[in-house]
Amino acid sequence: MKQKIIKVKTKSKNYEVHIGTNLISKLRNILKKNKLSFSKCLIVIDSKIPKKFRTILLRNLNDQKIFTLNFNANEKNKSYLSIDKIHNVLFKNNFYREDCIISFGGGITGDVVGYAASTYKRGIKFINIPSTLLAQVDSSIGGKTGINNKFGKNLVGSFYQPDLVISDINLLRTLPKREIICGYAEILKSSLIDSKKNFVFLDKNFNNILNLKGNFIINAILNSCLLKKKIIEKDEKEKNLRKSLNLGHTFAHAYEATLGYSKKLNHGEAVIFGLMNAVNFSKEKKLCI
C-alpha cells in the first residue's frame, strides 16, 4: 500500500502525519517537502528500539548536527527529572528555538519529549517518530504532552502540536505481542467512538491487524488517526468534543494508579478493562443499549 499522508490543521499548528513502510529511510525527503529545516537536533531514543533503526535514522539526518539521548521508557521516567535531563542537553549545546527535538519511541517517550519541547525556551521544533502501535494510532497526534507526578498520571503537561509525525510500520515489527495488543486497545476505542463500519472492520480483521499485515495495519492506523484529526481540529484544547477520546480512560487510569503505574498493567491493557467498564456502566445507566 502507498504511503498515506494526513494533513492536520489546528489553530496552533498545521502538520502532516505520514503513515507507511520504510519511512525513516526517506526522512530527508520528507523534511524537505515539509520545509522543515534546523541546524541542530536532539533525538531522544527509546532504549529498546533496535540499533538497525537508529542507524537508518541517523544516516538520514547527516545534514544537521545531531545529539542523541537514550531514554528508558516507563511511567516512572515520565517525570520532571527526565524533562530536566533533556533540557540540560539542549542548554549545554546552546539550542535555539529554530532547532529541533525528535522523539523516537512510544507514547511515553513522545509525551515526555513533547513536554520538554513545549517548555524549552517556550517552544522548540518537535518531530514525533512513534515506534509503538499505540503511539502511531493515538498519542503521536493531537498535541497532548505530559508527565506524571505523585498526585497522578499526565497531570502536568501542555497542548503542543508536533511539526511532523512519521509513523513507519517497520518499527512495529520488533514490538512484543503484548505491546501490539495495547495499540489495538486504542484502535478499538477509536472505532467505538467513530463508526460501526470501523468496528466491524477491526473485529473481522483482528488477526491480520495483530500480525501487522500490510494493508490491514495501515488502514487500522489510518482510520484511527483520521478520527483523531477530525476531533482535534474541532476541539484542540479538550473543551468538549475531544473528551470523547478519553472513553474508558477514567477507569483505566484508576487501574494503573492502583498498580503503581508498573509493568504489571500497561496503559493499553488498562484501556481494555476501562472500555469494558465504561460499556457496562453505560448499559446499567441505560445510556447505551
Q: Which three cell numbers stand for residue 195?
A: 463508526
Closest residue to ligand NAD, Cβ-based?
A: 107
Only one residue has cell 515506534, namely 131
For ligand NAD, the closer of residues 39 and 174 by Cβ is: 174
Paired strand residues for 130: 105
Residue 188 CA: distances (Å) to CA of 20, 67, 93, 196, 272: 20, 37, 42, 11, 9
Q: Is 18 a catalytic residue?
A: no
Is 253 one of the catalytic residues? yes
Separation between Cα atoms, residue 62 and residue 52, nearest integer Å = 16
The string over 33-43, giving b where at least 16 C-beta atoms fall within 10 Å of a residue's C-beta and e elsewhere, is eeeeebebbbb
Which candidate in 78, 125, 144, 229 is catalytic? 144
Subset of residues 65 to 84 that bind ligand NAD, contact rule: CB under 6 A: 73, 75, 78
- Map grid coordinates 495499540 to a residue: 183
> Which residues within the stretch 84-143 sit at the binding site for ligand NAD (CB under 6 A)?
105-109, 111, 131-132, 134-135, 138-139, 142
Shortest separation between residue 32's beta carbon and ligand NAD, angstroms = 25
Catalytic residue among 253, 256, 266, 269: 253
Catalytic, 249? Answer yes
Taking the complex as a whole, the smallest distance from the CB of residue 94 to ligand NAD amounts, in Å, to 29
* Cell numbers found for residue 270: 488498562
Q: Is 179 in the site for ligand NAD (CB under 6 A)?
A: yes
Site string for ligand NAD, 187-226 (x = CB under 6 A): ----------------------------------------
Pair 142, 190: CB distance under 8 Å: no
Residues 27-46 that bind ligand NAD (CB under 6 A): 46
CA gap 260, 105 in Å, rounded: 22
**Torsion-angle region of residue 154: left (phi > 0), alpha (psi -120 to 50) or beta?**
left
* Alpha-carbon span 269 to 214, nearest angstrom: 24
Closest approach of Cβ 135 to ligand NAD, in Å? 4
CB count within 10 Å of CB 233 equals: 15
DSSP E strands in 21-150: the ranges are 40-46, 65-71, 100-105, 125-130, 144-149
CB of 178 to ligand NAD, least distance (A): 9
Is 246 catalytic? The answer is: yes
Q: Report the site for ligand NAD in 148-167 (rule: CB under 6 A).
A: 154
Active site residue 178: no
Q: Write out the catalytic residue numbers.
A: 122, 144, 186, 228, 238, 242, 246, 249, 253, 267
Binding site for ligand NAD (CB under 6 A): 46, 48-49, 73, 75, 78, 105-109, 111, 131-132, 134-135, 138-139, 142, 144, 154, 171, 174-175, 179, 182, 267-268
